[in-house]
Amino acid sequence: MNVYCTAPGYKRLASTPKLSKQARQSSKCFDYYSSHGHNESFTCYHFDISPQTFYCWKERHNPRHLESLENRSHRLWHVRQPTYSAELANAGLRLREEYPDGAKINW
């Protein structure tokens, strides 16, 4: 007789993700938050974090995916491209080579 059965989602429970130190702290923070009546100010005081930090974590917190608490990149998604032409850039380089000490240029 086979007494073993698999419950839906057992693989997700079996594989716990490796979290960074900051993600583990925020996970503990949310465990404390849920066990103490969802009191934000008390949780912030207990963990010595600012309310702004707590609300930022709370906005991206997903209890089913602990990886959501990991730090994200601060790099901009859209970086401005230069609006000057290659000729203008070369002219600037020539001026720098001609006047390396930053002497005044008379236009």
Does 31 fall in a domain?
yes
Does 82 fall in a domain?
yes
Quote the number of domains for the chain.
Answer: 1
- By three-state DSSP, how is residue 21 classified? helix
Would you give the distance in Å from CA 65 to the centre of its chain? 15
In terms of residue numbers, what domain contains 53? 19-98
- CB neighbours of 40 closer than 8 A, spacing ≥ 6? 33, 51, 54, 55, 58
Does 67 fall in a domain?
yes
pLDDT, tens only, 45-102:
999 999 999 999 899 888 888 888 888 888 888 888 888 899 999 999 998 898 887 7
Does 50 fall in a domain?
yes
Does 5 fall in a domain?
no
What is the phi/psi pair of residue 39, to 5°?
Answer: -100, 105
Output the pLDDT for position 29.
Answer: 92
Does 104 fall in a domain?
no
Output the pLDDT for position 73.
Answer: 82
Does 81 fall in a domain?
yes
Does 83 fall in a domain?
yes
Q: Rounded to an integer, what distance in angstroms lies between the CA atom of residue 95 and that of residue 75?
A: 32
